[in-house]
Amino acid sequence: MKGIWKYKEFWPEVDPVDLVTLGEGNTPLVPSVHLGKEFDIPNLYFKLETGNPTGSYKDRFAASALTHLVKNRARLCLATSSGNTGAALAAYSARSGLPCFLVIVDGAPSGKVNQMKGYGAKTLMVQGFGIDEVVSEDVFRSLKQFGLGMKSEVQISAYSYSPQGMMGVESIAFEIAEALPENCVKVFSPAGGGGLTLAIGKGFLEWGERDKSYRLPELYCVQPEGNNTIAGALINGQEKANPIKESKTKISGLQVPNVIDGNQTIEVCRRLNGGGEIVMDQQVFELQKALAFKEGIYCEPAGAVSLAGAIKARKAGVVNKSDSVVCVITGHGFKDPQSLQRMIKKEEDYFESIDGATKYIIKNLAN
Ligand SMILES: Cc1ncc(COP(=O)(O)O)c(C=O)c1O
């Protein structure tokens, strides 16, 4: 078995005929070439979840979720999404033959919405969903109820809704544990509702249960200031996450005003001696560009949030120079064309002849 299924002994048994897979998981863990030096983190690594079949870590979720839907003979895949879950579920639904209905966050990036539609899913955008706490809660509650009636659990990438799907996400931790077994590792994970960070934390703890010699890494939950439900609570020593009335961040995927998995995420970060980091949208956009320009890593803004957190932690002395630091780069840049427009300068790039083009190269090399 390959990819996430290599770790199937960690999960309840599934019949191989029910497996829905596109080769998800086993993503690269690459060392930094330039940014580690620039920010004085010599052992900086990027876990490139962009390498999954639909371009984000949510494929690990979707593979596991659809496998269980097929196992339970569900008639449809019903889900909510800010974009990546929807794209992943749409692809894996297509593969399994189940129709897919997705209630999506208001203002989800066109790249993600088109991707969902491109796999044949039906998308339904609900006003205020993902921005307003009350509307979002209503969507989650109503769909949960509706799903029960349809004998198909609503798929939301969080343990509080879809624990079976989330088991697949734990494989991120297993892969990091296998790749960096002995170092003192600090892992930075971006968070919206917290499910991803919780899955990584649970994965490390499960790995540590089986291999008592494994030195558990520290886990840090990173959130943008405009959606600080978990990270601030971690910093302030609170036990519970704080729901917010309205999500103010512009970072797609991390706009989750509700607590969802927040309380358990706080718990798991504490158990792993980690903490929380709060970062600014603008800094994240700059690092998204730096990852592309200086490392060749093309990610969506949410993917750069972990790096923003690691840099902040290094400046504060939470990360030492000798630490191995892993930033989880969660989603591909292709998914968010609007964020790309922010990254690239508008410049003349159409020439009437090759002569003009070569003159341009010489001039720019000289500068
Ligand atoms: C690219 C990306 N990164 C991170 C997250 C955060 O995941 P969670 O809401 O489980 O914290 C999401 C969620 O949609 C996402 O799409």
Measured from the Cα of 197, ligand 1's closest atom is 11
At position 241, the amino acid (one-letter code) is A
Q: Is 355 within the bounds of a domain?
A: no
Measured from the Cα of 191, ligand 1's closest atom is 11
Whether 134 and 250 share a structural domain: no
Q: Is the pLDDT of residue 345 over 80?
A: no
The pLDDT, as a whole number, for residue 237 is 98
Is the CB–ligand 1 distance for residue 56 below 6 Å? yes
Whether 40 and 187 share a structural domain: yes
Is the CB–ligand 1 distance for residue 309 below 6 Å? no
The pLDDT, as a whole number, for residue 135 is 94
Write out the two tokens for 346: 């508008």
Whether 214 and 322 share a structural domain: yes
**What is the distance in A from the centroid of ligand 1 to the CA of 156?**
11
What average pLDDT does the segment 6-18 reach?
A: 92
The pLDDT, as a whole number, for residue 328 is 98
**What is the distance in A from the centroid of ligand 1 to the CA of 149?**
28
pLDDT digits (tens, 9 = 90+) for 83-127: 999 999 999 999 999 999 999 999 998 889 999 999 999 999 999
**What is the distance in A from the centroid of ligand 1 to the CA of 284?**
15
Measured from the Cα of 331, ligand 1's closest atom is 1
What mean pLDDT value characterizes the chain? 95
Whether 195 and 297 share a structural domain: yes
Whether 153 and 233 share a structural domain: no
Whether 234 and 246 share a structural domain: yes
Q: Which of 196, 220, 264 best tests ligand 1's pocket when mutated (most atoms within 8 Å of CB)?
A: 196
Query: 161, 181, 200: which is the final residue of a domain?
Result: 161
pLDDT > 90 in the chain, percent: 86
Whether 174 and 221 share a structural domain: yes
* pTM recorded for the entire structure: 0.95
Q: Is 356 within the bounds of a domain?
A: no
Q: Is 239 within the bounds of a domain?
A: yes
pLDDT digits (tens, 9 = 90+) for 156-178: 999 999 999 999 999 999 999 99
The pLDDT, as a whole number, for residue 343 is 85
Whether 74 and 51 share a structural domain: no
With cut-offs at 50, 70 and 90, classify the pLDDT of residue 1. Answer: confident
CATH number for the domain spanning 128: value is: 3.40.50.1100
**What is the distance in A from the centroid of ligand 1 to the CA of 305?**
10
Whether 125 and 173 share a structural domain: no
Whether 66 and 202 share a structural domain: no
Q: Is 247 within the bounds of a domain?
A: yes
Q: Is 349 within the bounds of a domain?
A: no
Q: Is 95 within the bounds of a domain?
A: yes
Is the CB–ligand 1 distance for residue 203 below 6 Å? no
Is the CB–ligand 1 distance for residue 192 below 6 Å? yes
**What is the distance in A from the centroid of ligand 1 to the CA of 109?**
14
Provide the domain count of the chain: 2
With cut-offs at 50, 70 and 90, classify the pLDDT of residue 346. Answer: low
Whether 186 and 39 share a structural domain: yes
pLDDT digits (tens, 9 = 90+) for 53-92: 999 999 999 999 999 999 999 999 999 998 999 999 999 9
Is the CB–ligand 1 distance for residue 330 below 6 Å? yes
Q: Is the pLDDT of residue 352 over 90?
A: no
The pLDDT, as a whole number, for residue 137 is 92
What average pLDDT does the segment 272-281 reach?
A: 98
Q: Is 293 within the bounds of a domain?
A: yes
**What is the distance in A from the centroid of ligand 1 to the CA of 303?**
9
Whether 225 and 296 share a structural domain: yes
Domain boundaries, position 32:
3-56+165-343
Q: Which of 254, 258, 327 best tests ligand 1's pocket when mutated (most atoms within 8 Å of CB)?
A: 254
Q: Is the pLDDT of residue 205 over 90?
A: yes
Q: Which of 94-108, 208-222, 348-362 has the lowest mean pLDDT?
A: 348-362
What average pLDDT does the segment 235-245 reach?
A: 97
Q: Is 367 within the bounds of a domain?
A: no
Q: Which of 105, 157, 169 best tests ligand 1's pocket when mutated (most atoms within 8 Å of CB)?
A: 157
